[in-house]
């Protein structure tokens, strides 16, 4: 469970919290919030929402996981707030006693309650469906065996953090050690002549042709880490103030090779990996086992359920369907019709 819930252990009063959370949406487009409630209604669980802010498109990810959960388990009666942006919002040293906020990413400077990222959640919901990258498909496409992998460290991505520019600069200086390039410029377009040209996107599965995978922050934590761990290459992970829901269980030098946030020791760590090939291989294997044991679809579903269950247990006031909330409807494709709710329980059950 998120350490934010364990550490706080506080009682939550839902009714007095909307005005506290609205302060994050005071600037147009700054951030967006979503208020949700699940409430038992006869034999079904219903989901109701209200959005705050200008850019609320990412609510589709929360809609999807909540609707999916309500089809699988009996959800608790709970009311909560969700941050629909990447950045965690509730400052850890805030002088106010504010309402907890659920976010997809946390940081050492914030106390948001962290859920699995929207990317990982979506890949779970769409496994074998419309997504091309999920935790199952990665394990079936891990590339050559360890001994046959390219020994150049590999990275591709966009220019969403200054350290990524430094990584590309290192690649230019040591091309035989690091192959790093941008696939898109957005944040540092004025530096494209220095760090470009951009290269074509390649399949994520082709990443695993390379023995060493570099994981470096983007706007927040790099949400690709679960997929990198699931492959059979060793991950070199940047020290970071940002974290996903599972980082607390990861161990440096067991599941990944750490390097400093300013990249000052990255070359040294790559050299260590090359000189300690068997140890690096074992780290890659441990990282893969961690992903299999903690980040598959059933783990994500259970994490969400336990998260809401624990949170519901801390509520003091009764969750309500508040003014302006709208019901979120289940998909009506009827691909898998279910009539189980109409059947009477058998005596032996």
Half-sphere exposure at residue 215, Cβ-oriented, CA atoms within 13 angstroms: 24
Let me know whether 165 and 283 are in one domain: yes
Range of the domain at 91: 3-114+318-337
Q: Considering the domain boundaries, does residue 216 fall inside one?
A: yes
pLDDT at 140: 87
Let me know whether 105 and 141 are in one domain: no
10 Å CB burial of residue 333 (0-12, 13-18, 19+) is exposed
Let me know whether 90 and 235 are in one domain: no
Closest among 263, 232, 235, 244 to 303, alpha carbons compared: 244
| Known active-site residue 86 | yes
Q: Considering the domain boundaries, does residue 305 fall inside one?
A: no
Q: Considering the domain boundaries, does residue 302 fall inside one?
A: no
Tens-digit pLDDT profile for residues 173-203: 999 999 999 999 888 888 888 888 899 999 9
Hey, what are 147's tokens? 């001994």
SS3 74: coil
pTM of the model: 0.87
| Domain at 183, CATH number | 3.40.50.2000
Indicate the pLDDT class of residue 11, thresholds 50, 70 and 90. low
For residues 214 and 154, the answer to whether their CB atoms sit within 8 Å is yes
Q: Considering the domain boundaries, does residue 209 fall inside one?
A: yes
Indicate the pLDDT class of residue 43, thresholds 50, 70 and 90. low
Let me know whether 193 and 82 are in one domain: no
Let me know whether 142 and 291 are in one domain: yes
Tens-digit pLDDT profile for residues 277-298: 999 999 999 999 999 999 999 9
Let me know whether 191 and 283 are in one domain: yes
Let me know whether 178 and 282 are in one domain: yes
Let me know whether 67 and 27 are in one domain: yes
pLDDT at 259: 99
Q: Considering the domain boundaries, does residue 57 fall inside one?
A: yes
Indicate the pLDDT class of residue 127, thresholds 50, 70 and 90. confident
Q: Considering the domain boundaries, does residue 149 fall inside one?
A: yes
Least confident of 123-127, 175-179, 253-257: 123-127
Please count the structural domains in the chain: 2
Let me know whether 151 and 276 are in one domain: yes
Which residue in the list 77, 86, 122, 332 is annotated as catalytic? Answer: 86
For residues 33 and 24, the answer to whether their CB atoms sit within 8 Å is yes
């Amino acid at each position: 469970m998120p350490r934010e819930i364990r550490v706080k252990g506080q009682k939550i009063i839902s009714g007095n919290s909307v005005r506290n959370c609205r302060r994050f949406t005071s600037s147009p487009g700054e951030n967006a919030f979503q208020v949700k409630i699940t409430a038992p209604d006869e034999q079904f669980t219903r989901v109701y929402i209200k959005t705050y802010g200008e850019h609320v498109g990412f609510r589709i990810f929360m809609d999807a996981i909540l609707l999916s959960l309500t089809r699988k388990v009996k959800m608790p009666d709970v009311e909560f707030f969700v941050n629909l942006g990447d950045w965690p919002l509730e400052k850890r040293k805030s002088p106010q006693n504010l309402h907890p906020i659920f976010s997809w990413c946390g940081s050492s400077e914030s106390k948001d309650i962290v859920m699995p990222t929207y990317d990982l959640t979506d890949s779970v919901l769409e496994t074998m469906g419309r997504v091309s990258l999920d935790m199952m498909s990665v394990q079936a496409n891990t590339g050559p065996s360890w001994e046959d992998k390219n020994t150049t460290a590999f990275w591709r991505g966009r220019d969403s953090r200054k350290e990524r520019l430094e990584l590309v600069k290192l690649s230019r200086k040591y091309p035989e050690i690091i192959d790093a390039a941008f696939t898109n410029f957005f944040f540092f377009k004025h530096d494209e002549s220095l760090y470009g040209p951009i290269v074509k996107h390649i399949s994520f599965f082709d990443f695993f042709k390379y023995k060493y995978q570099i994981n470096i922050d983007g706007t927040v934590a790099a949400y690709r880490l679960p997929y990198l761990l699931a492959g059979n290459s060793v991950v070199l992970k940047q020290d970071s103030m940002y974290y996903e829901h599972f980082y607390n269980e990861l161990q440096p030098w067991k599941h990944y090779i750490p390097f400093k946030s300013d990249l000052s020791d990255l070359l040294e760590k790559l050299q260590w990996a090359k000189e300690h090939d068997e140890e690096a291989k074992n780290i890659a294997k441990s990282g893969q086992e961690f992903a299999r044991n903690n980040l598959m679809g059933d783990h994500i579903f259970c994490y969400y359920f336990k998260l809401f269950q624990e949170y519901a247990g801390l509520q003091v006031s009764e969750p309500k369907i508040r003014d302006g909330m709208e019901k979120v409807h289940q998909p009506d494709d009827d691909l898998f019709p279910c009539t189980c709710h109409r059947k009477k329980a058998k005596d032996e059950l």
